[in-house]
Structure 1
């Protein structure tokens, strides 16, 4: 994984999408086919916008595999889309405790902090995500926008 993270972090690496795909694939492996199925069901429910079903599947996953960071991250995403920022933050904290290099969890943290008006903290979360994965254009744009807003505009 260290090699993949190094490849991903290299802003000059044109092959970063492969490194990202390999990292995401590794993150999705719980070590149990049954747990992987729960993750897939949760992700499928997320994809169609059925947030209650996603939360239900992912809660079952977390209950059975609390050491699986991607379960926490996926449920944080479901909570976020359902408008439950508090539970989403709690799950992000669990995901990051288990996988401190989870750039997706850091990006999600930034989004929640930004939506909550905590722009300084959001900037730090976005910057931390970009330090791991500098190829996230949407996160780069969010950070640039917040930095521009915080610096003000000269007249």
Structure 2
């Protein structure tokens, strides 16, 4: 199936991006290992490739629920507290809850991903990018974390890497509006078009 091939290529590209960023000064979580994809995850990722925008948003919500399950009620509580603080705009509290989560569950990718969002909102781009590297190393299927990396790469002038990130996302999730806008914006600047 073409969608599954695209998905596998995306996972390989995301892992390569995380490794490349780590080799240039980032730090991947020590002792971390990728959690294998579950059958529901794979089916949702395959469906995402052909989904219309409304259906794609439903699939993204389902994937988000899967990725937000740590397997521990305590870790899930810390994640919920971090999310709530992030949504309330209490960024120091969000960083605190999510840092506690990461300290206790360093192999739980979503803790890194959410803390990156808090750092990004604090305009701590280096810290955000470092956390996104860890999130992608632990869960290379999380195209939202890859999107965050591409956005930061664009903002810090690494346009070709950002373009590659946006393009990789669109290969598996063509309805990702922000990645499409980013790719198109950068394609004009790079003197070409990927449309």
Match in the other structure for 2:66: 26
Match in the other structure for 1:119: 159
Using the TM superposition, give the Cα deviation of residue 133 of structure 1 relative to its aligned residue in structure 2, in angstroms: 2.0
Q: Which runs of 5+ in 1 are unaligned?
A: none
Scaled by the length of structure 1, the TM-score of the pair is: 0.92
CA distance, structure 2, for counterparts of residue 116 and residue 106 of structure 1: 15
Give a deviation string over 1:54-73, Cα, whole Å, max 9, x none.
11100000011111110110
CA distance, structure 2, for counterparts of residue 11 and residue 140 of structure 1: 15
How many residues were matched structurally? 152
Using the TM superposition, give the Cα deviation of residue 146 of structure 1 relative to its aligned residue in structure 2, in angstroms: 0.8
Q: Which moved more, 1:8-17 or 1:127-136?
A: 8-17
CA distance, structure 2, for counterparts of residue 12 and residue 136 of structure 1: 10
Contact 1:79–1:87 (CA under 8 A) maintained in structure 2 = yes
CA distance, structure 1, for counterparts of residue 52 and residue 122 of structure 2: 37
- Asked if 1:43 is matched to 2:83, the reply is yes
CA distance, structure 1, for counterparts of residue 136 and residue 82 of structure 2: 19
Match in the other structure for 2:3: none
Contact 1:103–1:130 (CA under 8 A) maintained in structure 2 = no
- Asked if 1:83 is matched to 2:123, the reply is yes
Q: 1:4 aligns with which of 26, 44, 50?
A: 44
CA distance, structure 2, for counterparts of residue 127 and residue 70 of structure 1: 23
Match in the other structure for 2:135: 95
CA distance, structure 1, for counterparts of residue 84 and residue 149 of structure 2: 22
Superposition RMSD on alpha carbons, in Å? 1.5
More contact order relative to length (CA 8 Å, sep ≥ 6): 2
Q: Which runs of 5+ in 2 are unaligned?
A: 1-40
CA distance, structure 2, for counterparts of residue 13 and residue 133 of structure 1: 10
